[in-house]
A and B are shown apart, each in its own frame.
Chain A
Amino acid sequence: MTKQETKKTLVFIQKLVNKRSPAIITPNTLLFEDGHLDSMNILDVVGYIEEKIQRKLTDEELVMKNFQSVSTIERTFFQT
């Protein structure tokens, strides 16, 4: 994933967060654990990733540890 793509993911997550709070998100912010995103936001994040990689995520990939932060998402889904 290029820096620009990481930035796009950060912007996407930041928009989700800003619907409810003014918190600033960094690549290592714990998105769900620290309450920046709520349970339902997982649908937005999964939808975003699936659009980017143009395939459905598998059951094995749909585990919480893969969605902890923007960095985790980047490492798991976007690094080839």
Chain B
Amino acid sequence: MIDTYFITGATGTLGKRIVVQLLEHTESNLILLLHKQGRGTNSDKLLRDLFGINNSSYVNRVKLVQGDITQPRLGLETELYKDISACITHIIHSAASTRFDLSLEKARLINVEGTKNTLGLFEHLKSPTHFAFLSTAYVAGKNTGTIMEQPLSSAAGFVNTYEQSKYEAEQCVQKSEGVTSIYRLSTIIGDSTTGAVDHFTAPHQALRIMHIGLAAMVPGTPDYVVDLIPSDYASRAIINLLIKPLTFGNTYHITAGADRSFTLQELLEQSFKSLTRFDPEWARKGYPSPPIVSQQTFDLFLSSAEDAGNILVHNVLGAMKHFAHQLTFPKEFDRTNIDAALPSYHIDLPHISTYYPDVVKYCVSTKFGRT
């Protein structure tokens, strides 16, 4: 029997890469859940535009369905839900809101209810083989020290609603009776070969704040390890975990680790150096590199920014409160499970210094995704 993968979030940074790699490296059929309000139903055009898929044999293996993970039965018609339940064997749930500034209610609707509804489909399958959940390493929230690849405590609390809602979603997955895996991803920074960024997240926002000269200071400690991973590498690790039957049923940290990462001090220095190199106009403005300060000092700075009438200062610095505080909770991610499942994982992972300049160059040349 040929495996059939049902994929949510297929149009996201990792979703797109997972789709292409499953088509290239397996014979599986794919059913992609696209949002009802999304891009229409012309599958040939969508596959070409979104995934760069022109190969007709690939196109024939992909079916598109339109739904909504926040709705019961994923917003699918009863008959369709029944039909696909009979053929799906694997589910990859990667759809999520990655915004840090949503209310807890909204974040829970997408990340927790969306996961429950997708698990509902898994429990309804005729031949359920594997449910893979794409999570974040920052479900660890405000915990510090070594974070293990296992269920975590929420007692320390969370920096933002994204962390909390993904933590709660993980709990739903852990309670499921089927075979499930949780892939906890570090922050994705860009492609290690081109520097291209699909989705601009916290580190890009921080770089952008530095670029417009508003990064007066950064909270944390100079030796904080900023764990960032390249998108191409993350998707390859996920695919390798997915297609290796022995690796089912576990939690994995897809992270970089201290020996492949910058410290906060190094990241600021390299950001400054790369901005100077790739944007001479920026260099001429002579912005100073931001100092690293305590959380208390940073909070004072943010509260004064919140009083500002100028919305650039108010909004942009206000956005920092949703992610910058994570820099004051140093942690390292244990990799026992992933090292056992993918022994070459760490050897193949490039040090961030080899591709970070390309990421900065991409950010500057696209005006941080605006062009």
Contact = CB atoms under 8 A, between A and B. Distances in A.
Interface in B21-79: 35-38
Interface string A35-57: 10011101110111000000000
Contacts of B212: 43
Contact of B38 (A19, A20, A22): A22
Interface in B76-94: none
Interface in A1-49: 19-24, 32, 35, 38-40, 42-44, 46-48
Given A22-B38, A43-B316, A43-B368, A38 B311 contact: no
A20 B309 CA distance: 27
B316 A42 contact: yes
A21 B199 CA distance: 13
Contacts of B101: 38-39
B117 interface: no
Interface in A51-80: 59, 62-64, 67
Contacts of B102: 35
Contacts of B315: 32, 39-40, 42
A22 B99 contact: no
B309 A63 contact: yes
Contacts of A32: 315
B370 A48 contact: yes
Contact of B367 (A22, A40, A42, A47): A47
Contacts of B200: 19
Contact of B37 (A24, A39, A43, A59): A24
B9 to A, nearest CB: 12
A44 B319 CA distance: 14
Main secondary structure of the interface of B (DSSP, over half): loop
B40 to A, nearest CB: 11
A19 B367 CA distance: 15
A19 B199 contact: yes
A41 B97 CA distance: 16
A38 B320 CA distance: 12
B369 interface: yes
Contacts of A21: 97
B319 A40 contact: yes
A43 B312 contact: yes
A39 B97 CA distance: 15
Nearest to B310: A62
B292 to A, nearest CB: 22
B106 A67 contact: no
A22 B70 CA distance: 13
B37 A64 contact: no
A80 to B, nearest CB: 23
Contact of B370 (A20, A47, A62, A64): A47
Contact of B36 (A22, A38, A67): A22
Interface of A: 19-24, 32, 35, 38-40, 42-44, 46-48, 59, 62-64, 67
6 contacts: A22-B37, A35-B102, A38-B101, A43-B208, A62-B310, A63-B310
Given A38-B101, A48-B370, A67-B311, 20 more contacts: A19-B199, A20-B99, A24-B37, A35-B102, A38-B99, A39-B101, A39-B315, A39-B316, A40-B205, A40-B208, A40-B315, A42-B315, A43-B312, A43-B316, A44-B369, A46-B312, A62-B311, A62-B312, A63-B309, A63-B311
